[in-house]
Amino acid sequence: MSLTVIQNPGNINAAYTRLLTVVSGSIYTAQPQFQYVCDVYDSGSNTLLKRMTQPLNPAGTATFDVARIIQGELSVDYNWKINTPTQFDSSSRKFAVRIGEQFGTSISSSVTVYPDQYNLDLTAFQGVVEPNAGTYNFVDVVDSNVLSNMPSTMSMQSDDFGTISTYSAPTSVSQSFYSASSAGYVKVDEKNYTAPGINTAFFSSFPISSSADYWNYVDVSISSSFGIENYRYEASDETHREKTRFAFVNKLGAWDYYNNYNPVRQAINVSREQYTAPRVDYSSRLSTYDISRRGKKDYHNSTDDLFTVDTDLLDKENANWLEELIESPEVYIQRNGEFIPIVITDTSYTSNQNQARQKQFKYTINFKPSNQPFGTWIPEYVSCPKFQPKPPVVITEPFTNIGFYNFDLNGSVVTDGGATVTERGFAYSSQSANPSITGSTSVKVTAGTGIGDFSSAIVSASEDKVYYARAYASNSMGLVYGDVEQATTNDYVPITVTSLAPTEVGVRVFTMEGTVNDGTSPIVERGFVLSKTDTSPEIGQTDVLQFVTGSTAGSYDYYLSGSTYLTGSTTYNYRAYGSSSTDSVIYGSTINFDTSGSFYVFSRCSDDVLKRSSFQSYTQDIAIGTRVKEAGVYGYESYYITTGVTGSTSIPIIN
């Protein structure tokens, strides 16, 4: 068997629209008593809610509208007093719509049902798609994540219950509560919510409530795939005004709230059931005249309490939104922290169609409590508690500019609590994970007064160590700390210097050798220090010569000859050294050595050869222009011998 669904209501839709499923394509339409079948179930359940059947229409299809079935299965969620984000329960449900067919073998036979040939899921909620919207589908007309047509600025007192509902899972819902103080409006509370539960796809309510005793306004920001939507709820401070708070189900199936600050007028309708007694007493021996004997008498009286309230003058946006209150099937008023069901008794009203023609527009709302009699209406007035200062709110920000021996501490006083912040700063420690300004292992650093960001630069830290810090602030109401932040200073690696044994040691000549390697910071200077008398020579000491050879890491040397400081058969001491931007001078170990006692001379024997001789009667030919060191002859200066030498004059290599 096979059939085709050529139109469906989508997988998310309002219940109060046309939820149409159009079916065609069966190959059994010619069978006797053929009809298409539409079954509606709760999603995940095998309990049938309703079965509908339809024969073929002239176009060869069948159209099912499951809206009335869905509407009957949904009910209102009374979630006014929630403290945490809450998903819709009764006012939004997921249904399974299953399409099949049925037919018999003859026009008088029983029929056989072949269900579940096509299944679709439908999440429905108690919303309305207007008949003139141009579509039956909610997703085609929705342009906001908030299930309300309310204005962006609303009225709400700090002791009112309130919620705001969303269609799809928002990224975040943030609420910032502000209260007036001597320093202006200060933030007294902040709430941040995400979508609740595991089914974060659709329909949730978020409370608008604060732990603060009083606030003047709250800014609500909702981030979602629709962008960022902002609302503000403002509290009236006119304590002489009466307050009536309405809660009503709007056209999108969620709760909206309206505060009216005008007097409520009460009227009482009395229904009397009477009978007429005879004036003459027919049951007594004598029927004498009795003026107290009445004719008409009440045997049952009942009363209905009716109430009327006028709105303030409204702009078009507020006026059109309040039409949803007048038309709503579910309306309550909040009194003394409870919600009392009422019925709007207006059977007609004039809509605000044009603000240019209806500048002074307002509604008169007539209502009566659902449970009668109500009794005497006792007005509730605007509650505006006197602001009480509190300790400030301070935040510890992460460490910055972390080095080997330094870091910056950062903090912010978000609000002064209504009293001037007289001191702020930090407590930090490398020993206590919970530093305080009075702790024996903590360091206190002050950083000014007042609200706003502040920081302190610490330059006396130790390398490679964990530090803990808390910002603090105090006013006349007390001292508070922010959360603990921690950071580890950088691990410092010094440069390394090695002194190596000398090479080419002669009578008055030798080469000092050494190596230096970069540490955390690169080399900025390297060299040697040399002394005849000091066995641990250092720069700047008496009888210590300094030789700078460069500023790069690696092996290096320094060739020394011909100086009057050099003598044969003498003990010398030298050390390699290096320094960096973060290191003072680092020395290698001391190298001790003796210069040679042999003395060589050169004689001119021909135009191109010099003869080396020594007091040890040894000779070696050296070509003119050859560097002596390169010729493998050691123990004398390493310079070029020139043709300026004539005859057989003896030339000492050291003079």
Residues ≥6 apart with Cβ < 8 Å to 569: 507, 594, 595, 596, 597
> pLDDT tens-digit profile of 1-34?
578 999 999 889 999 999 999 999 999 999 999 9
> pLDDT tens-digit profile of 205-250?
999 998 877 888 999 999 988 899 999 999 988 888 899 999 999 9
pLDDT at 382: 87
Residues ≥6 apart with Cβ < 8 Å to 594: 505, 569, 570, 571, 572
What separation in angstroms does the CA of 252 have from each of 16, 203, 245, 450? Answer: 9, 11, 20, 46
Confidence of residue 276 (pLDDT cuts 50, 70, 90): confident
Confidence of residue 199 (pLDDT cuts 50, 70, 90): low
Query: Contact, 573 vs 530, CB < 8 A?
Result: yes
pLDDT at 26: 93
What separation in angstroms does the CA of 436 have from each of 283, 407, 415, 425, 479? Answer: 98, 18, 21, 11, 11
Residue 134, CA atoms < 13 Å, CB-side half-sphere: 4
Q: Which residues of 274-306 are buried (b: 16+ CB within 10 A; e: fewer)?
A: eeeeeeeeeeeeeeeeeeeeeeeeeeeeeeebb
% of the chain residues with pLDDT over 90:
60
Say how far apart CA 187 and CA 363 lie, in whole Å: 35
pTM above 0.85, yes or no: no
Query: Contact, 295 vs 279, CB < 8 A?
Result: yes
pLDDT at 388: 67
CATH code, residues 496-594: 2.60.40.10
pLDDT at 163: 95
> pLDDT tens-digit profile of 144-196?
999 999 999 999 998 899 999 998 878 889 999 988 765 577 788 899 998 87
CATH code, residues 4-140: 2.60.40
Sheet containing 407-415: give its strands across: 393-400, 407-415, 452-458
Residue 327 phi, psi (nearest 5): -90, -10
DSSP state, 138? Answer: G
Of 385, 370, 305, nearest to 333 (Cα)? 370
Confidence of residue 99 (pLDDT cuts 50, 70, 90): very high
Q: For the residues of 9-74, what is the DSSP string, one character each?
A: --SEEEEES--EEEEE--S-TTSTT-EEEEEEEETT---EEEEEEE---TTS-EEEE-HHHHHHH-
Q: Is 139 helix (H, G, I), strand (E, B) or coil?
A: helix
Q: Is 638 helix (H, G, I), strand (E, B) or coil?
A: coil
Mean local confidence (pLDDT), 525-531: 95
The answer on pLDDT for 640 being more than 50 is no
Say how far apart CA 301 and CA 170 lie, in whole Å: 54
Q: Locate CATH 2.60.40.10 in the chain.
A: 393-488, 496-594
Would you tell me which CATH number, out of the four given (2.60.40.10, 2.60.120.1360, 3.20.20.140, 3.40.190.10), belongs to the domain 393-488?
2.60.40.10
Residues ≥6 apart with Cβ < 8 Å to 392: 413, 414, 415, 416, 417, 419, 421, 451, 473, 474, 475, 480
Confidence of residue 624 (pLDDT cuts 50, 70, 90): very low
- Of 86 and 607, the one with more pLDDT: 86
Residues ≥6 apart with Cβ < 8 Å to 597: 507, 568, 569
CB atoms within 10 A of CB 646: 8
% of the chain residues with pLDDT over 70:
87
> pLDDT tens-digit profile of 118-150?
999 999 999 999 989 899 999 898 889 999 999
Of 613, 585, 516, nearest to 557 (Cα)? 516
Say how far apart CA 12 and CA 6 lie, in whole Å: 17
The answer on pLDDT for 418 being more than 80 is no
Q: Is 140 helix (H, G, I), strand (E, B) or coil?
A: helix
CB atoms within 10 A of CB 87: 19
pLDDT at 597: 62
Query: Contact, 36 vs 101, CB < 8 A?
Result: yes
Mean of the per-residue pLDDT values of the chain: 86
Say how far apart CA 260 and CA 273 lie, in whole Å: 37
Residue 21 phi, psi (nearest 5): -125, 120
The answer on pLDDT for 599 being more than 50 is no
Query: Contact, 143 vs 149, CB < 8 A?
Result: no
